Amino acid sequence: MRRYEEEPLSSFGEVMQPDEAIEPILARPVRDALTEWLTEIWAADELAEVGLAPRSKAIFFGPPGTGKTTLAHHLAARLGLPLAAIRPDRVIDSLVGQSGKNIGEIFDAAEREGPVVLLFDEFEAYGQKRMSVRYSADQAHNSVVDTMLQRIDAHDGHVIAASNLADDLDPALWRRFDIRVELALPGPSERRRIVQRYIAPYGLPKDALRV
């Protein structure tokens, strides 16, 4: 799919507004990691006084359906920012060089339309380990990874990657994320709270919610 200059972020995914976010049900380690990151961000002025800056790149990884996008949207909402959830099917292109160009356009659009939190969903689609070049497809894949590395390094805003296959990611990309949060399948406490949230209108007694 051919694209033209100054594509909006909505061309590459969904732009989600802060008032559309819902509060996720999180395990304690995930909740603690989120609180720590938000505290850093809100203390940006104090950190600047001692020559430091809050971290701005995070990767959320774990099995499908564990709430990675919901968590990213909640974080963006806490910052009062929209979340641009980038979909790989809108970025990866069969034309040689187009996928890298699309990635560049995403970061350019974020700078024009920002501030915004960028979420790259299914990050393994862009970031699988680079390989020895035997075919043109190998070179094209390596080029996509290189472009992603360069644009993440140059971007001043918040970037979140969400991956179901973290072990497949290129080590150099993995190192770009100074916050790494694993979202595991919900435990008994989280499952109970999820059930409570969705059956609340029916008033099921607490004893019936035992897991």
Please report, in tens digits, the pLDDT of each residue of the chain (211 residues total).
444 468 899 999 999 999 999 888 888 899 999 999 999 999 999 999 999 999 999 999 999 988 899 999 999 999 999 999 999 999 988 776 789 999 999 999 999 998 999 999 999 998 888 877 776 667 788 889 999 999 999 999 999 999 999 999 999 999 999 999 999 876 666 666 655 665 655 555 555 555 5
Task: Round to whole Å and give the CA distance between 89 and 183.
Answer: 24
pLDDT of residue 1: 45
Tell me how far the alpha carbon of residue 52 is from its chain's centroid: 23
Task: Round to whole Å and give the CA distance between 171 and 185.
Answer: 25
What's the predicted TM-score (pTM) here? 0.85
Short-list 72, 56, 68, 85, CA closest to 152 = 56
Q: In what order do the strands lie in the sheet with 159-163?
A: 13-16, 83-86, 117-120, 159-163, 57-61, 179-182
pLDDT, tens digit (0-9, with 9 covering 90-100), for 147-164: 999 999 999 999 999 999
Short-list 1, 5, 4, 12, CA closest to 116 = 12
* 191 close to 211: Cβ distance less than 8 angstroms: yes
Residue 42, both tokens: 């809100």
pLDDT of residue 160: 98
Task: Round to whole Å and give the CA distance between 103 and 20.
Answer: 26
pLDDT, tens digit (0-9, with 9 covering 90-100), for 103-140: 999 999 999 998 999 999 999 998 888 877 776 667 78
H/E element holding 15?
strand 13-16
